[in-house]
């Protein structure tokens, strides 16, 4: 009897191990698992199964799994959210060219501002307009995300929008021909200070076009015989790693270390400069807590190699490298697969980079009208390359000028001659 009991226990243990192994393999290989089992049970037995939004269930389940990882930089984007993500990384889309928000009071899409030169601007759309229907379908019934997606479409196609204009208390029907909207991630200008000409370049984020835009901006500025350069990476959340390599390579000689990647097995891969395209000049980089990821890669690469100093506030501290995985449901998983280390070997993850000159941003709180005006100006400039700066209202930019001007005049910013 005891021998039988022992045998039974062994069989149960073996069965349990097989079950655990089967379940684990199911999760890893995409086979049957608890999540898909629950979905199937709902579909087969749930009383209100016909009214269930299964896409929403799946999205919620995946987001819960990702959240349970406890990884600060691992994200899941639903199919609808993927469209927004792709626009940010490609910096172009087919649409009417407006920055919008949701007006919950009127259940409408409110136009913050039409972009400069966009189809919406040419058609007469104005800031404050409320889009209440698109091609005959009400925004209230469609929902905000669906309405935004409906405004987008193939360049050359037409969309009819019904607009309520509060300033005139009038309702207008406007037909707009969509176009390819190209968002500029690089803005530039020159600053005259103490007898010097200084180039100013701001990078808003690192998209597919950033490297080419940055090179174009530098060509323009170098043609104007600038004496030094300020690169503004404040509130730049990062973006494509490849573009960070291109930007850093514009200044660093071929072979200089930009960053080192390390995976979970401890295997390291160094990434080095492709070879500089521009001669060496004094460079100051502006950073703050909103400077993350690719912004930090560029900042650390230029500073650690002795090509720049940093002014501003401690950066965000995102050294987690994400790999994109496109899922069968149209969603996107950004999974942390590596960490990166600066040329000096620092792991800045959740620590950030402390600038050489710490300067806090102004504590002055802008009025509502000033904030709205600034937002409109930023939207209009999203399709332009011209930067607007005012050192008198920007303490960090003033400090950057204070740092760079003496270095330009004394040529002590770096020890070697201007030979690169």
Q: What amino acid positions are annotated as catalytic residues?
A: 293, 304, 318
In this structure, which long-range contacts are made by residues 22-28, counting pairs with CB atoms below 8 Å and at least 24 apart in sequence? none
The Cα 274–Cα 255 span in angstroms is: 7
Instruction: Classify residue 409 by burial, with Cβ atoms within 10 Å: 0-12, 13-18, 19+.
Output: middle
Query: In angstroms, how far is CA 174 from the centroid of its own chain?
Result: 32
Residues with Cβ within 8 Å of residue 89, at least 6 apart in sequence? 207, 208, 239, 240
The Cα 209–Cα 91 span in angstroms is: 7
DSSP letters spanning 269-291 = EEEE-----S----EEEEE-TT-
The Cα 102–Cα 107 span in angstroms is: 7
With contact defined as beta carbons under 8 Å apart, do 280 and 255 qualify? Answer: no
User: What's the count of helices (H) and strands (E) in the chain, helices before strands?
Assistant: 12, 19
């Amino acid at each position: 009897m005891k021998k039988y009991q022992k045998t039974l226990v062994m069989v149960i243990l073996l069965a349990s191990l097989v079950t655990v192994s089967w379940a684990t393999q199911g999760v890893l290989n995409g086979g049957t698992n608890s999540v898909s089992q629950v979905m199937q049970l709902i579909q087969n037995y749930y009383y209100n199964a016909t009214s269930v939004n299964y896409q929403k269930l799946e999205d919620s389940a995946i987001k819960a799994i990702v959240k349970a990882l406890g990884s600060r930089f691992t994200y899941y984007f639903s199919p609808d959210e993927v469209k927004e993500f792709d626009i940010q990384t490609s910096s172009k889309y087919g649409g009417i060219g407006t920055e919008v928000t949701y007006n919950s009071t009127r259940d409408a899409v409110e136009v913050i501002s039409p972009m400069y030169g966009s189809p919406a601007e040419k058609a007469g759309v104005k800031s404050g307009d409320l889009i209440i229907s698109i091609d005959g379908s009400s925004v209230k019934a469609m929902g905000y995300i669906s309405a935004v997606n409906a405004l987008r479409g193939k360049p050359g196609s037409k969309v009819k929008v019904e607009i309520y204009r509060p300033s005139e208390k009038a309702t207008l029907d406007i037909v707009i021909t969509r176009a390819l909207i190209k968002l500029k991630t690089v803005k530039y200008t020159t600053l005259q200070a103490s007898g010097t000409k200084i180039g100013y370049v701001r990078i808003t984020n690192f998209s597919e076009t950033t490297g080419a835009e940055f090179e174009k901006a530098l060509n323009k500025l170098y043609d104007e015989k600038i004496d030094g350069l300020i690169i503004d990476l404040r509130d730049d959340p990062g973006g494509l790693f490849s573009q960070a390599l291109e930007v850093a390579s514009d200044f660093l000689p071929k072979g200089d270390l930009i960053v080192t990647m390390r995976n979970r097995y401890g295997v390291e891969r160094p990434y080095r400069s492709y070879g500089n395209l521009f001669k060496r000049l004094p460079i100051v980089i502006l950073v703050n807590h909103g400077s993350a990821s690719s912004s930090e890669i560029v900042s650390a690469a230029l500073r650690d190699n002795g090509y720049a100093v940093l002014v501003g506030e401690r950066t965000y501290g995102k050294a987690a490298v994400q790999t994109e995985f496109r899922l069968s449901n149209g969603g996107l998983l950004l999974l942390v697969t590596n960490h990166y280390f600066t040329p000096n070997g620092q792991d800045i993850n959740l620590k950030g980079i402390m600038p050489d000159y710490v300067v806090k941003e102004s504590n002055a709180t802008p009025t509502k009208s000033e904030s709205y005006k600034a937002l409109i100006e930023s939207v209009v400039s999203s399709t332009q390359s011209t930067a607007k700066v005012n050192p008198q209202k920007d303490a960090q930019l003033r400090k950057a000028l204070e740092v760079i001007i003496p270095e330009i005049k004394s040529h002590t910013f770096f020890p070697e001659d201007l030979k690169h």
